[in-house]
Amino acid sequence: MESTCRKSVYVLVLCGPERERWINPELAGFLISLTQPEAQQRFRFGIGFLQAAPIEKARNISVANFLESGAQWFLSLDNDAVPPPNFLDFISAAVRDGKTLAVPQFHSNNLPQVLRHRPVLVWRREKDAQESDGWVELTGAGGHCILAHRRVLQSIQPPWFATELSADGRELVCAEDFYFFYKARAAGFPLYGNTRFSVGHYKSVDISSLAI
């Protein structure tokens, strides 16, 4: 297992097109917390922001930026992701337990009221996967929050992310996030989800709905 002692983590926030140039308050609070002594004693954090479209282009640019940074770990967060107060522990757990490719659970914050308090898992579990210390092996997951070790990204030939459509171009066959996880698993890096950490997802909610 890898020690968490002062590993370097490159955090990159993906912002949407012009109309979505914002980050939610919880994400802003998380980024600020990474500058505090407690966080800096555990990891060396670098923080960046990227605005590009379409989403697969943005994700590929973010990976290229990370590889140029020299950091050991890459944390990709969409601007509408909502990290919980203990999210730093998710990073520590992945590093400690040697999970080189990891995602948390997530729930959508702007679902219909009847569903709002139910976790919505964009997860595909590995067949017969058993949970251990919160970790469960997956075959795919949503990409709004991804933690990956440098080895994973260096082992995959670009593009890391791509959207695949049907032959007539009318139907989505594979979204960019599931495409990435497929390539990572094919390169020998299993994907793990952790049931102990749940990240919210505003899913491009109107910024006016965040007003107090």
Predicted confidence at residue 18, as pLDDT, reads: 53
Closest CA to 62 of 41, 76, 73: 76
Chain-wide mean pLDDT for the chain?
Answer: 84
* Per-residue model confidence as pLDDT tens digits over 3-44: 445 699 999 999 866 556 678 889 999 999 999 999 999 999
More confident residue, 192 or 18: 192
Specify the higher pLDDT residue, 76 or 110.
Answer: 76
Reply yes or no on whether the pLDDT at 202 is more than 90. no
Q: What is the pLDDT of residues 99-143, one digit of tens each?
A: 999 999 876 554 444 334 444 446 677 766 778 889 999 988 889
Rounded distance between C-alpha atoms, residue 83 and residue 155, angstroms: 28
Q: Which fold has domain 7-210?
A: Spore Coat Polysaccharide Biosynthesis Protein SpsA; Chain A (3.90.550)
List the chain domain ranges: 7-210
Query: How confident is the model at residue 6, as a pLDDT?
Result: 66
Joined tokens for residue 59: 């994700």
Task: Check pLDDT > 50 for residue 80.
Answer: yes
pLDDT at 159 over 60: yes
Query: CB-side exposure of 51: number of CA atoms within 13 Å?
Result: 8
pLDDT-derived band of residue 59, with 50, 70 and 90 as boundaries? very high
The predicted pLDDT at position 104 comes to 92
pLDDT at residue 206 above 70?
no
- Give the whole-angstrom CA distance, residue 201 versus residue 50: 18
pTM, rounded to two decimals: 0.85
**Helices assigned H by DSSP within 163-207:** 176-186
Task: Report the C-alpha gap between 194 and 39 in whole angstroms.
Answer: 21
